[in-house]
Structures are given as C-alpha cells and as structure tokens.
C-alpha cells in the first residue's frame, strides 16, 4: 500500500467558536486558537481541521457563507488567519479548511441576484422550480422555499437560509474552483468537503416514496463527474489532503469517492456509525468496521471518528460518562486510534468532555434542533417531551465551550459565552488533565506517540477475533511480521476474554492499557469495566 503523510496523521478538529475567546466577546476566535496552538502541538497532532470561519450571517454556525473571501468578524480577520496559518506551519503542523460548496447563505450576493428576477444572469446559479416535490431537508419540513418576488420555489438541502448551488451550471463550478485556488495558494493543506455527496441532484426531482428517509439527497448521478473535474482543475495541482463528508454511503459507493485510481478525494467520513447507530450496538459496530475494511483496504482510505461538531460527544453517546468516564474515554480513544483509517480528535475529547442537558430550549442554539422542536410543538406535542426527545442528539452536546480550567466559564471567555459552558467544568478541564499523569489527555498523547513509532498501527492488516461477542472487541493489526492485539471490554462489568489458540500460543507484551496494574494470566484475560489493552505479540 502506498504510504502517505495523511494516512499517518492524527487530525484535531477545532470548532473555533467554542475553543478559546481572546477578546471577551463570548465567541472563540482565530487569535484564541493561535494562543492555544502549543497545547494542540504538545498532544502530538499533525493536522488541524478548522470549522468554517468565512463571512456568514451565522444561521448555521458558519455553514451559511455570504463571502468566501472574507473572515467573519467573530473569528477575526484575514491578517489573523494568515498569521494562524503561519503559526501552525511553524509548529510543524498542517491546516485544512472546511469547504462548503453545496450551498451558500441566502445573503450571498450570488443568491441575492439570483432571486431578484427570473431573467437575472445568476438565476440559474441556484435551483428554482414552479412546484415543490415532497422531499424533506435536513433541517426543515421541506427542501423547497417559496419566494414571493418571482413566484417560484428554491431548493435547500439544509436550512431555508442555505440555498443549494446549481452545480450543473459551469459558471458556478468555475467560481468555486477559483475560490479553492485562492485558499490553496495561501498555503493551506487541504479541505474537509462539507456535504459533498449532495452536489448532484436527480433529474426531475421525483417524489420520494418515504420522504422521511432523506437518502435521496445524497450520492446522485453526476457527483463523481463534479469531483473528478474539481480534482483535475484544482486538487491535483497541490500537495494536499482532502476528506469528504459522504452520508448514506456503502463501502462500494464510498470507494468511488476515495479509490486511489479514481482521482477524486483521499478519504471520506461515512456516517454508518454517527448517523445510523444512535447508541452503542457492538455487533453492528463490528460489522460496519469489517465491511468498510474489506471494501476499502488497499484501494482507498477510511477515517475513524465517533463524534464531531454535529454528533454528541462519544463518551456520552457511546461510552459511560458517569461511573467510568475516564476509563471509557480511554477505551473509545483506543478504538478510534487502532482501527484502520485516519483518526480524528474533536476538541475536548482528549480530556473526556461530555454532552449536556439544558433545561430550556432557549439555552440551545443548534438550528437543526430548534427547527425540529418548533415543527413538533406546532403539531401539538408536549414541549417538555419534545425537548427531552431531542436532547441526546442535539448538536449542542459537542458545541459547548472548551473547558480550560475551573475558573468562571471554564476559562473559555471573560465575557458571556455564546453557548453555556457544561456545568461539569470544575472537574473536567485541561488544567486538571495536565496535572494528572493518569488523565485521558496523557493517554491520547501516548496513543499518538505509538502511531508515530509503529507503522503497524497505520498500515497493518486488520482481523476481528470477536465478531459475535457483545462486550469484548478483540482484533489484530499486522505488518511485516509485527503483530498487535487490541482487546477492549466495552462494558460496565468485568469480562473474561479467552484468547483463541492462535493468539494464546505466542508471547505478548503490553504496550498500553487504561488500567495501571495488569496481571498477565495465561490465555484468559480478565478485563475490568471499560478496560483497553494494546499488546505486541511475539
């Protein structure tokens, strides 16, 4: 398999508005990120993925862009961005930006022109129809919004304020490519391509049989033509890293985006876990990993993550954030960093930050959650019940400010934070983590070091020895005669893992574990709650 820097990399996602506020306005900012770069570097991170910081009315936290060439005031300005890039590079790290080109803001001048009249030259830059079909958007009941001025409907996969660009229009594509070159010429190291599987729309917009199953929004014919053109005209001319957000995709379909012979993207985020597995489901999780491994290995590259700014923090959603928070956070880290693919860390994950439950809908900000809440309450449902039903998966679970210390507002801001701080910041914060040699933070650091020193962790073949076990996940990675065994007891109780003959008959040496006193006991491994171990086999 071809070795590349981005296969070996560990990526750290910075949701800047919740990272560190340098000017007391309650929002994190690029200057704040600059001030914390040493913290990120010390963890061992190679690449920073920065969420969108372009000019935006901020209806969907920067994913509604009104000027691709400017930095939004809350984040800073272009001079600060340039300094950020310089400071990241100075520390030997790389920076990738979010590329949001499925849609713009409705305040983007292109859309303002487009909606102004039916014969405006930019009319065709967006998608206009006389009649809607029955599709649902991600964030609202319909994908179509009626526009009084011209008496037609425009299409939006997400919020009403996020009209989809018409990728069939060549001028649109050329404008986007030009904008991409602008950022790449500044020296950024790649893109995370937002909602990229949505670019192509099906001919004629036929009604869906079940409008609630929104798969029709993604992976439509034509999407690969656009990506190949983008590759040809932009991407291939730079030494960069690209990762596409590709929802509702099978490994077979996924390979079309990332196949090494396809000239599209390097890697993808598939969402078979985060979108389609609401709570921990071990057998299903193992099947997903196996299928993706078999589908991609040697042909295209995968990513590993269990949370991001759209998905509830992993220790809350898939682990145990109460009795075994520290052990569980370390176990999940072990999983993400030892499965095949590039691992992602979402800010705060490295100190085991948890999700939140706010008492009132007013304390939430997430447009997806708020629109859904309004829709359900309008149907006459009990507001309290609706709130409760939306809490676990609200995107604000992962968006609360980074917890730096136990001072007011967790040291995130001297002002009023744009989203409330998680009340548990007095116990869970960076200062505490750095002072405790057994913290989640130092465990991440060790995992990252291991990855740097051992190619087997990146390029080793994968084999699951526990397909039907509901608690233990045991698998090997193997490369050039080096063989590692990873054993995880994803469970609140003790369990014994009886090593299969093949693994029991060789010597083993513990490389890393999340309990300090591991006694070696022959072929039966007595695993404690949420215990994780990485062995080298001889």
Q: Which of 245, 264, 321, 531 is catalytic?
A: 245
* Binding of residue 366 to ligand TEU (CB under 6 A): no
Name residues contacting ligand TEU, limited to 89-118 (CB under 6 A): 100
Q: For residues 158 and 62, give the distance between their C-alpha atoms in angstroms, rounded to a whole number.
A: 13
Task: Please tell me the distance from the alpha carbon of residue 145 to that of residue 155, in angstroms, as a whole number.
Answer: 7
Q: Select the span of 11-19, 269-277, 296-304, 529-537 touching ligand TEU (CB under 6 A).
A: 269-277
Residue recorded with tokens 């396809």: 262
Residue 340 CB, shortest distance to ligand TEU, in Å, is 21
CA dist 471 and 492 (Å) reads 9
Stretch that binds ligand TEU, among 175-183, 267-275, 282-290, 397-405 (CB under 6 A): 267-275
Active site residue 502: no
CB of 293 to ligand TEU, least distance (A): 21
Query: Facing residues of 509 across strands?
Result: 536
Among 68, 138, 418, 473, binds ligand TEU (CB under 6 A): 138
Q: How many CB atoms lie within 10 A of CB 80?
A: 18
Q: Does 14 bind ligand TEU (CB under 6 A)?
A: no
Q: Is 60 in the site for ligand TEU (CB under 6 A)?
A: yes
CB 353 within 8 A of CB 333: no
Helix, strand, coil in percent for the chain, rounding step 5: 35, 20, 45
Residues 158 and 138 sit within 8 Å (Cβ to Cβ): yes
Q: Is 271 in the site for ligand TEU (CB under 6 A)?
A: yes
Q: What is the distance between the alpha carbons of residues 495 and 315, in angstroms, rounded to a whole number?
A: 20
**Contact positions with ligand TEU (CB under 6 A) in 216-255:** 245, 247
Task: Report the nearest approach of ligand TEU to the CB of residue 63 (Å).
Answer: 3
Choose between 271 and 404: whose C-beta lies nearer to ligand TEU: 271
Q: Is 245 a catalytic residue?
A: yes
* Close Cβ partners of 15 (under 8 Å, ≥ 6 residues apart): 28, 51, 309, 346, 347, 398, 399
d(CA 125, CA 118): 11
Q: Among residue numbers 145 through 164, which ones bind ligand TEU (CB under 6 A)?
A: 158
Q: How many residues bind ligand TEU (CB under 6 A)?
A: 14
Q: Measured from the CB atom, is 157 or 476 closer to ligand TEU?
A: 157
Asked whether position 194 contacts ligand TEU by CB under 6 A, the answer is yes
CA dist 103 and 159 (Å) reads: 10
The tokens of 277 are what? Answer: 């597995």
The neighbour count for residue 188, using CB atoms within 10 Å, is 21
Any contact of residue 63 with ligand TEU (CB under 6 A)?
yes
- d(C-alpha 149, C-alpha 130), whole Å: 13
Map residues 305-324 to x or -, x wherever contact with ligand TEU holds by CB under 6 A.
Answer: ----xx--------------
Active site residue ranges:
194, 245
- List interacting residues with ligand TEU (CB under 6 A): 60, 63, 100, 138, 158, 194-195, 245, 247, 271, 274-275, 309-310
């Amino acid at each position: 398999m071809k070795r590349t820097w981005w296969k070996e990399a560990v990526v750290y996602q910075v949701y800047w508005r919740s990272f560190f506020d340098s000017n007391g306005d309650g929002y994190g900012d690029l200057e704040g990120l600059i001030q914390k770069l040493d913290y990120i570097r010390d963890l061992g991170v190679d690449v920073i993925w920065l969420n969108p910081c372009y000019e935006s009315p901020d209806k969907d936290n920067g994913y509604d862009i009104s000027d691709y060439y400017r930095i939004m005031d809350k984040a800073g300005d272009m001079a600060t961005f340039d300094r950020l890039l310089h400071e990241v590079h100075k520390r030997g790290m790389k920076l990738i930006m979010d590329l949001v080109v499925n849609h713009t803001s409705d305040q983007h001048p292109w859309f303002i022109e487009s909606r102004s009249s039916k014969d405006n030259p930019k009319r065709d830059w967006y998608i206009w129809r006389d009649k809607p079909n029955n599709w649902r958007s991600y964030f609202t009941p319909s994908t179509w919004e009626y526009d009084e001025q011209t008496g037609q409907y425009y299409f939006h996969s997400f919020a009403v304020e996020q009209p989809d660009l018409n990728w069939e229009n060549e001028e649109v594509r050329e404008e986007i490519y030009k904008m991409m070159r602008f950022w790449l010429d500044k020296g950024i190291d790649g893109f995370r391509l937002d909602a990229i599987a949505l670019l192509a729309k099906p001919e004629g917009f036929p009604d869906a049989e079940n409008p609630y199953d929104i798969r029709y929004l993604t992976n439509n014919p034509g999407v690969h033509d656009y990506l190949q053109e983008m590759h040809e005209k932009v991407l291939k001319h730079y030494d960069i890293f690209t990762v596409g957000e590709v929802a509702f995709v099978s490994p077979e379909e996924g390979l079309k985006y990332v196949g090494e012979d396809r000239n599209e993207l390097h890697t993808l985020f598939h969402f078979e876990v985060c979108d389609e597995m609401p709570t921990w489901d071990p057998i299903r999780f193992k099947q997903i990993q196996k299928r993706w491994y078999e589908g991609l290995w040697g042909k295209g590259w995968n990513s590993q993550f269990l949370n991001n700014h759209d998905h509830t923090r992993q220790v809350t959603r898939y682990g145990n954030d109460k009795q075994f928070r520290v052990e569980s956070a370390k176990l999940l880290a072990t999983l993400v960093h030892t499965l095949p693919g590039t691992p992602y860390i979402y800010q705060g994950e490295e100190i085991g930050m948890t999700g939140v439950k706010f008492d009132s809908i007013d304390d939430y900000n997430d447009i997806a959650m708020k629109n859904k809440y309004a829709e359900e309450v309008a149907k006459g449902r009990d507001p309290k019940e609706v709130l409760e039903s939306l809490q676990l998966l609200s995107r604000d679970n992962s968006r609360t400010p980074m917890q730096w210390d136990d001072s007011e507002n967790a040291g995130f801001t001297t002002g009023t934070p744009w989203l409330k701080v998680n009340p548990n910041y007095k116990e869970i914060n960076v200062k505490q983590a750095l002072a405790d040699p057994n913290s989640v933070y130092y465990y991440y650091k060790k995992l990252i070091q291991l990855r740097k020193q051992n190619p087997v962790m990146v390029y080793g073949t994968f084999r699951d020895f526990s397909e039907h076990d509901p608690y233990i996940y045991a698998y090997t990675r193997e490369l050039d005669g080096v063989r590692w065994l990873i054993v995880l007891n994803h469970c609140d109780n003790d369990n014994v893992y009886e090593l299969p003959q093949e693994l029991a008959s060789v010597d083993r040496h513990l490389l890393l574990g999340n309990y300090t006193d591991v006694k070696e006991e022959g072929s039966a491994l007595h695993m404690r709650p949420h215990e994780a171990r990485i062995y080298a086999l001889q």
